[in-house]
Chains A and B, each alone.
Chain A
Amino acid sequence: MSKDNLIERFNKEIIKVNGECFVFKNIDDSITQIQSFIEKEKIKKILINDKNEISRSIYVNLKRTTDLIIQAVSEINIKNKDIKEELKDVDLGISYANFLVADTGSVVLTSSEDEPRLLSLLPEFNIVLSTSNQIIEKLEDAIDVIKTEKSVTVITGPSRTADIEKVLITGVHGPKKLIVFIFDK
């Protein structure tokens, strides 16, 4: 599958599971998107995995342009703080994906110091950053990573339940919304 096909497929699948996906050519466009999201959802505190070039510059950019509380995971690490405590009132977590899976519209995250498992779990909203090079066709293509990492989480859409009369509700214990940003130069 070509890169464009992969993006298209991923987009199609993530919409089916109530997720969202945006494709950006550059960081600035994504900042505008995040800003309007912050406004719409009345976000007050953000925590971001900043270990990567893209996420770092988003972090720096956001820090400059908004007056919300924005923290980077690396800072917390330096300060030796407990992630759990830190995440208590964060309402938007920004993660960085290892892979995106086109076949199912899934995000593959490995846990690490930079990507603590709770970052994509505790906050009400989760934005996942990624580049178009990271899209794989099927989950099977990530099998080596799944084998070698301490733990891997495959996320497909927001947290959901249908335990009450099969009515679909998103955002039970995990995020209400899952938005994937794909950077495609």
Chain B
Amino acid sequence: MKISLFIPCIVDQFAPQTAISTFKVLRKLGCDVDYPFEQTCCGQPAFNTGYHHEAKICAERFLKIFSKSNYIVAPSGSCVAMVKNFYEELDLSKETLSIYQYLKNNIFEFSDFLVNILKIENINAQFNAKVTYHDSCHLLRELKISNEPRKLIQNIKGIELINLNESDTCCGFGGTFSVKFPELSAAMTEEKVNNIEKSGADYVIANDVSCLLNIQGILKKRNSRIKILHIAELLALGM
């Protein structure tokens, strides 16, 4: 199966391990993975702030770069949702609109792709730890993915998946929101981290690097022993 990796810019620079893990897991599962090298950003930061003109330029660029891809897989719910759902809001040109109509059905978040396309719920990994899972907002609500990652986690040998209270409440990141309303954003993250700490887990798992880094922002401030871990890394770790 031919796959094009879509690595969101924040993953590219802040968490390349996540991207490498994504690549390795997919490879191990027999996929032919390619990385369109010209890719940069899907346009979400501009779009979320209201800069549709700038976002549209990014979107059209993105669509052209991936226009020949069979499947697009990304280790992020938020950026997949951006392409799959929010591009609809941009006034795309005729040419790119037709690419979009095709691509939006072929772009998948990593865990979604594993479970629903590759039909793999158990990758025969082992990892001895107590973990808890945070539902990233756009993964959960835009892509409706919540069981898939949980299945993948539960099937790892030696792992204990602990329920996270209010797991579907936003971690408070929200991109531009965390810059414009830093106090509010931080207060939300504090609540999230309170719940994570109460869970008693050693690791908090999520499918979005942005949420994880945001959560880590408070964990580090608190000198917490709890570590963040992207699902792709978790799966790759125990492989």
Report A-B touching, CB under 8 Å. no
Interface residues of A (CB under 8 A from B): none
Interface residues of B (CB under 8 A from A): none
